[in-house]
Chain A
Amino acid sequence: DTEVTQTPKHLVMGMTNKKSLKCEQHMGHRAMYWYKQKAKKPPELMFVYSYEKLSINESVPSRFSPECPNSSLLNLHLHALQPEDSALYLCASSQELAGSSYEQYFGPGTRLTVT
């Protein structure tokens, strides 16, 4: 079962709000990813977790805070966002992180609008 779920599907938040995006996978994958995708652009990597530890942070502003509570769950905490942070946020997972041969499986995304 190659499924990654994300909640919520849509989120509208003000610049002073705090919200969280959630991602879950039950494929036993040990690597999980957050991507940001603006309209008509490819996904951009934000964070990578491997075995529940943050492995890569692609110089993402601190108003985005990732968390991996266990091997199946990945959260993205949002605080004091800017309108330009409005985008589709995609979660993905892969079997392992070491080496780059494993395909990533993506969730349906959360469409975020910052007002």
Chain B
Amino acid sequence: AQKVTQAQTEISVVEKEDVTLDCVYETRDTTYYLFWYKQPPSGELVFLIRRNSFDEQNEISGRYSWNFQKSTSSFNFTITASQVVDSAVYFCALSEDTGFQKLVFGTGTRLLVSP
């Protein structure tokens, strides 16, 4: 069965600090997809990234970077030089490739960035 674990419930940082959000997943499939979503206080989930299981290249997008390591079943997310606008709940999610498999979300990590 698929499972996503985000062990960090809440992280507090001061602006300009770097912060890493951890995501560990479990799946028996060899083909699967990993996602990160951001949910600001307004409520909308904002899609950040999708990764497939065959692509282990790390990705950087501005201040955001993602580290995918199949050996440790982890897909961690780093925000460099955090800003107050980064304050949100961040969800990691997994879907398998067999027919339709629903998105399995982790429990989320609440990030608080103070000025």
Which residues of A line the B interface, CB within 8 A? 2, 40-43, 45, 48, 55-56, 58, 88, 90, 92, 97-101, 103-109, 111
Interface residue from B44, B101, B107 paired with A42 (Cβ < 8 Å): B107
User: A41-B107, A101-B50 are known contacts; what are 17 more A-B pairs with Cβ within 8 Å?
Assistant: A40-B108, A42-B91, A45-B103, A48-B100, A56-B102, A90-B45, A97-B100, A98-B100, A100-B32, A100-B33, A100-B95, A100-B101, A101-B52, A104-B103, A106-B37, A106-B46, A109-B43
A58 to B103, CA, bound (A): 13
> What's the tally of chain B residues with a CB closer than 8 Å to chain A?
25
A100 to B92, CA, bound (A): 15
Contact between B44 and A103, CB atoms less than 8 A apart: no
A94 to B102, CA, bound (A): 12
The smallest beta-carbon distance between B35 and chain A, in angstroms, is: 6
**Contact residues of A: prevailing secondary structure:** loop
Per-position binary interface string of chain B over residues 63-100, scored 1 when its CB falls under 8 Å from any chain A CB and 0 otherwise: 00000000000000000000000000001000111011
Which residues of B line the A interface, CB within 8 A? 32-33, 35, 37, 42-47, 50, 52, 91, 95-97, 99-103, 105-108
Contact between B96 and A100, CB atoms less than 8 A apart: yes
Contact between B47 and A104, CB atoms less than 8 A apart: yes
Q: Which residues of B contact A99 (CB under 8 A)?
A: 97, 100
